[in-house]
Chain A
């Protein structure tokens, strides 16, 4: 669904992405692992159009998205769950969810379906976004992205700052969505979560993809794990 070719991007004066090459497949879960500061979030933000690449190509379904605005890229069917969650604090829970809702046919995500998936949110729908716990906020931004009825869900470190039981819940949700045929691009530092969810894993180090393969292969590659992931 997305093909990234020789992508170079800067953050200010920092040369962050140094020729990234990767592919995000339809209907599969692709995960990106890497330590802090290796360029994971920059890669996600470049794909979403929030950072302009200096060089390289990003193609969504065969058409380039470089230079397009974030909303144009999102409308190609990409739901975005950013790092740090980015709940809208002055909107109610329900407003957060419905703000960008788009329908797709009859079998897409609806508000009721999201409340069914996350019952906590339905109890707190009148609360402001800022009044939720970290775990609830994470559920909220996943629900918010699902209501745009994407074909691909991009999740940037959804487990960050969550209690272990919530991290497990995120893993269950990813598994459930993948079963429903949604493509997922999961960017994680949590090795367990990433490997247990993945169909394909990329390892990013110093702005380049240094390894790619199946989750089982990564489990067997002790040197890669030790050198690039510290696990």
Chain B
């Protein structure tokens, strides 16, 4: 039983990282209809930036902040230059963001080398805590990830559900032409969503770097997870990203823990089953 609780917590912290990456990915797709293939590379770059800042400053939290803010700035730059020029041409967008993956990957290889790098947690998060449920001790670092994901998840929920900006974003997912035809500057909405998505990917990269380490190719691993999450949850649906992350995170972790040789099967078989029943994803709306 304690083993199972540990594995569940592992799955949940994995889900937390998936949520941070996939929520931005799905919102960008929902509002802008851009499938941003460079989203995983932004995740990786955020982690690397944090690595250097931690090495220089000696404080994990500076790295956390730097990785997030730097990726927000990077997102602003990308959206303002590359993405904006491609608007309305899905193939061009796809190719441009794919090309970006190679550029970012190679730049990371030059700057940080090919060996896996791990982000060291600060002293306070290095140890383990006793969990009242099941009498287990569990690493603080993973509890921290879980906490950050929950806080971000709730904050985003309120932003989307309770504010006017959030209403504009949801309306944009529904029907962005109509939003524009009502006089709302959709360009600004696009930029804001893209920057938010990049910042969340960067944050995910910093947190992910503490458990997966950062390595060339780590970006496509996380992008695959994000794709699976948003397809299962429903493209463009924020709640779908939460639900999809929980499902994928838990299944993937149980699979690797209990049926290691079948891990990929354990991950993809339920997904195929879900898609057979609901092709639009669990919380997605059928295309109209």
Residues of A participating in the B interface, judged by any CB pair closer than 8 Å: 48-50, 69-71, 73-75, 80, 82, 86, 88-91, 95-96, 98-100, 102, 144-145, 148
Contact = CB atoms under 8 A, between A and B. Distances in A.
A48 B175 CA distance: 15
Contacts, number: 67
B175 to A, nearest CB: 6
B111 to A, nearest CB: 38
A148 B170 CA distance: 19
B170 A88 contact: yes
A187 B168 CA distance: 28
B171 A145 contact: no
B185 A71 contact: yes
Contacts of A148: 182-183
Interface of B: 164, 167-168, 170-171, 173-175, 177-187, 285
B170 A90 contact: yes
Given A88-B174, A90-B174, A99-B168, 4 more contacts: A82-B181, A88-B175, A91-B174, A100-B179
B167 A91 contact: yes
B170 A91 contact: yes
B171 A50 contact: no
A91 B183 contact: no
Contacts of A91: 167, 170-171, 174
A90 B175 CA distance: 10
A69 B180 CA distance: 8
Contact of B181 (A74, A90, A95): A74
A177 B140 CA distance: 64
Contacts of B187: 69
A151 to B, nearest CB: 12
B39 to A, nearest CB: 23
Given A88-B170, A91-B170, A95-B167, A102 B183 contact: yes
